[in-house]
Amino acid sequence: MESPEGDRIKATSLSTPGSSPAVQESPVFNFISNLSPINSVKAASNDADAASRGYGDCGNRMSTVLVPCIQKELQSCSPSGCVDDYLTDPVEVEGCSNSNELCVQPAKNVSKLSSSGFNSPTITSPKVNGANDRNSEDFMHMLPDQAEEDPLRSLALFETAIEQRDAESFDGSHKLTPTEKADQVESNAFLLSSAQHYEQFTAHFDEKSLYTMSSFEMSVSQNVMLQNTGTQHNGQDGSSQSPKNLQNVEADKNSSENVGPVSTGLLKESTSHQRGIRRHLQFEAALAGKCITTSKSHSSHNVTQESDNSTLPASFRDWESLIPSDIESREVSSGREATSSSQNVASRLSFCQSEFVRSSQNEESLPLIGPLPPGFSLHLSSMAELMPISSDLMPTGRIHDYLKNDQLDDQAVVGASLVISQYTDSMKQISDSLQMTLSEQQAAPCEGMMLTSEIEEKKASNSSESEDCKRCNCKKSKCLKLYCDCFAAGIYCIDSCACESCFNKPEYEETVTDTRQQIQSRNPLAFAPKIVGHADSAANVVEDGNLTTPASARHKRGCNCKKSKCLKKYCECFQANVGCSDGCRCEGCSNSFGRKTESKYQKVQRWENQSHVKLDAAANVTDSTKTRTIKPFSARWEDLPDMSHLTPLSYSYPEAEASSVSPSMREFQNVRRAHLHQESSFQSSVNPHWQSPMSSMPQFHEDFAEHNRRSSYCKVHDTTKEDNMPEIQKDTSTPSNASKADIPNKKQISPPQFQSQELRSSSTPGGLESDHKFSWKNVPSFPPLTPYSKSKDDIGQTGSDFKGHPSDNR
């Protein structure tokens, strides 16, 4: 074993570009240094002794093979020769007891690699000085002065340096000298520092989120490599310091067989492990921006210098080993193309993680290609950029801590790995929460309002999601009649529908439109929401906590139940969680949400009583909620708390909170919740693809449109607010002020056409704040189904309790 040598430090300081005074004096370097626990490369080198001590620590695994690589990477090595030099990686056989993450891979995985030609390279990486070296030097030289001006060049040079290092590191013909080891220790630190630098530069790229993590991964790679190389010495040959060439690797594999299956597995795994991680250092840079691609894309990707990208799976395994076992594959769908950057981040994170893990898990059948493991990590930086992640979540510093002291023993490596694992955990949590938020914001349990492409994409990504929402099952109607829920909701059928001979598809748009027009001509309100919620209404919370529609909400046409007593879902009123009204022609009504004979006043009274009960239960409110408490049952809009912040994207309604606020607030929340999760007919009828020519709905704010599109459309699609309805104005005189409770919905549904009406109908003494109105009217509503004049007829109807039969239809 090598022992520390005094000249090593000197040599290191001379040979390591990172220690260049020019660099150290540069503002960029200083900045980086401040960011990194590594004060300087020199400091790192000074600690080389500590690291070198590990060399003799046979127990575990010191890196000797890797040590020289960094130094030389900046001096020599033909990139072309680097390709398969990885195959000469030293292998880890045993002694990974402290790094379970790196030893968990089953041997079979590696066997596959072996049989796939991973271990049959014949290339010997020539040591090259000069031209190739210039890249590294260029990179270093440009760091202080040019990098910021020319980040692309910096990036290229940096990557080249990495490639060279890798190639050099595994140049089997090269023997480590103590000096080189020290240099490598130092270079390692330098690279880490450079990685940060690199990160700074690449942070400006559009694909920054895909780039920036490269540095982090590189740090990881360094650790992994160090560990692997270190263990190799222990397991294979405690006295050996020589990097293994290809033949050695083969020999190692053979010899490992004598050690036993486990060792063999470890050995092979280690080999692929190293290769994978190192390779993806190059690969990811080349792939920048393509991290999220699937294995398919990877398969076609022409990796720089990579004639054999079949090593990719190894990298997956590598990364899998770095991922805590508790990180399970998550729905891939969540990682599908996202629109917002934050969404991208979250989704990519999960996607890559899941893809990566999944790939690893399924590698039995995996082709020798697959998604980049970097995916899991490189989004972490972008996450950090987008989220207020506390610095302690970012492991880079702690990884640096492990490396800066050159503690190149297994403990250090394991520690770094653990940091990574912890970080991964943290990021997983963040991702989870982010996705949770996103799912709330963009929850699309049904693809009701989604664009066709979105639907297709979603279907492909997550069928279970479609299952959450019931779709039609039409057999004879061709989904061109109101029998079809999809059609009735104004949305196209999707694959999750079980319909037959469906014409309610984008390709039959004309047919759909014509049919719809036809139906509309027969019944202008045919596509109007069936449930109209009075302005005075708010969602009820029944005993079991389930939400119901506002007590005063009712089915626009009324049910006609004969046998079900309005106690089953056959009854549309019951299905919509609304009580029957006098407009219903039901017999023996026993609707638990309100019987037919129950007057509106009675309904309101009943509802208020329920609210009072709830209010009493929630009497113990917190100070914060008190500030939001308002007069119970306030009929005045201005009495409501400022809910302007409760946009569809930000609103949340924890049950606890809902129970601690005033009834009005709670009502509002309930209404909102009900509409977000139960009643989205309105939103579902906003399908941009599905607009009738009659409806010249302007394209509204994309955010809201998107939100609406993604709002769930579930069976109760016909529940909506009467704002959408022509009869919107009629109920302004109802016991409670109408519009308040509907505000949230109005936000999403009020079409501009109705704005003036809205203003009139909802204009309470205080009137609606213009900003509220503004936001509401910016949201598309269900397509104007009929000429507005038509609706005035209905307006008259609604003034009193809706008694009208579906004059439109019957």
Residues of this chain that interact with DNA (CB under 7 A) are 470, 472-479, 481-485, 488, 499, 519, 522-523, 526, 530, 557, 559-565, 568-572, 575, 715, 805-807, 809-810
Give the residue with the Cβ less far from DNA, 504 or 659.
504
Tell the smallest beta-carbon distance from residue 724 to DNA (Å): 16
Tell the smallest beta-carbon distance from residue 567 to DNA (Å): 8
Give the residue with the Cβ less far from DNA, 68 or 583.
583
Tell the smallest beta-carbon distance from residue 736 to DNA (Å): 27
Half-sphere exposure of residue 52, counting CA atoms within 13 Å on the CB side?
26
Please report, in angstroms and rounded to a whole number, the separation of the first and last CA atoms in the chain: 95
Tell the smallest beta-carbon distance from residue 478 to DNA (Å): 7
Give the residue with the Cβ less far from DNA, 253 or 516.
516
Tokens 């207020």 appear where?
Answer: 388
Give the residue with the Cβ less far from DNA, 211 or 503.
503
Would you tell me how many other CB atoms lie within 10 Å of the CB of residue 436? 12
Tell the smallest beta-carbon distance from residue 483 to DNA (Å): 3
Q: Which residues, other chains included, contact 575 with Cβ-Cβ below 8 Å and sequence gap of 6+? A: 569, 715, 716
Tell the smallest beta-carbon distance from residue 514 to DNA (Å): 13
Specify the 3-state DSSP secondary structure of 105: coil
Tell the smallest beta-carbon distance from residue 750 to DNA (Å): 23
Q: How far apart are CA 698 and CA 509, in angstroms?
A: 19
Helix (H) / strand (E) element for 548: namely strand 547-548
Name 532's bridge partners: 554, 720
- Would you give the DSSP letter of residue 640? S
Give the residue with the Cβ less far from DNA, 531 or 640.
531
Give the residue with the Cβ less far from DNA, 489 or 630.
489
Give the residue with the Cβ less far from DNA, 205 or 570.
570
Question: What separation in angstroms does the CA of 75 have from each of 196, 200, 213, 552?
Answer: 21, 24, 25, 80
Give the residue with the Cβ less far from DNA, 594 or 648.
594
Tell the smallest beta-carbon distance from residue 677 to DNA (Å): 16
Q: How far apart are CA 433 and CA 426, in angstroms?
A: 11
Tell the smallest beta-carbon distance from residue 585 to DNA (Å): 8
Tell the smallest beta-carbon distance from residue 488 to DNA (Å): 7
Give the residue with the Cβ less far from DNA, 101 or 485.
485
Give the residue with the Cβ less far from DNA, 508 or 570.
570
Tokens 């890797």 appear where?
Answer: 66
Tell the smallest beta-carbon distance from residue 529 to DNA (Å): 11
Give the residue with the Cβ less far from DNA, 106 or 806.
806
Tell the smallest beta-carbon distance from residue 492 to DNA (Å): 14
Name 531's bridge partners: 555, 719
Give the residue with the Cβ less far from DNA, 277 or 561.
561
Q: How far apart are CA 279 and CA 170, in angstroms?
A: 12
Length of the chain: 810
Give the residue with the Cβ less far from DNA, 286 or 580.
580
Provide DSSP, 364-407.
TT--S----THHHHHHHHHHHHHS---GGG-THHHHHHHHHTT-
Q: How far apart are CA 11 and CA 71, in angstroms?
A: 10
Name 721's bridge partners: 533
Say which amino acid occupies 93: V
Q: Which residues, other chains included, contact 224 with Cβ-Cβ below 8 Å and sequence gap of 6+? A: 102, 273, 274, 277, 318, 322, 413, 417
Provide DSSP, 597-619.
TS-HHHHHHHHHHHHHHHHHHT-
Give the residue with the Cβ less far from DNA, 218 or 474.
474
Say which amino acid occupies 755: Q
- Would you give the DSSP letter of residue 675? I
Tell the smallest beta-carbon distance from residue 524 to DNA (Å): 12
Q: At what angle do helices 246-259 and 261-287 cross, to 10 degrees?
A: 140
Q: How far apart are CA 640 and CA 95, in angstroms?
A: 66
Backbone angles phi, psi at 252, to 5 degrees: -60, -40
Tell the smallest beta-carbon distance from residue 558 to DNA (Å): 7
Phi-psi region at 31: left, alpha or beta (left = phi > 0; alpha = psi -120 to 50):
alpha
Tell the smallest beta-carbon distance from residue 490 to DNA (Å): 13
Tell the smallest beta-carbon distance from residue 544 to DNA (Å): 16
Q: In 470-599, where does DSSP find H-type helix?
A: 485-489, 509-522, 572-575
Q: How far apart are CA 668 and CA 62, in angstroms?
A: 64
Q: How far apart are CA 471 and CA 707, in angstroms?
A: 20
The secondary structure of the chain in percent helix, strand, coil, rounded to multiples of 5, reads: 55, 0, 40
Structure tokens at 290: 């393509």
Q: How far apart are CA 548 and CA 53, in angstroms?
A: 71
Degrees to nearest 5, angle at CA 283 with 186 and 325: 80
Give the residue with the Cβ less far from DNA, 569 or 612.
569
Give the residue with the Cβ less far from DNA, 238 or 806.
806
- Under 8 Å between Cβ of 731 and 798: yes
Q: How far apart are CA 710 and CA 684, in angstroms?
A: 9
Provide DSSP, 161-223.
HHHHHHHHHT-TT----HHHHHHHHHHHHHHHHHHHHHHHHHTTSTTHHHHTHHHHHHHHHHH
Tell the smallest beta-carbon distance from residue 504 to DNA (Å): 10
Tell the smallest beta-carbon distance from residue 480 to DNA (Å): 8
Give the residue with the Cβ less far from DNA, 77 or 455.
455
Give the residue with the Cβ less far from DNA, 230 or 726.
726
Say which amino acid occupies 614: K
Q: From the CA atom positions of the chain, what is the Rg in Å?
A: 33
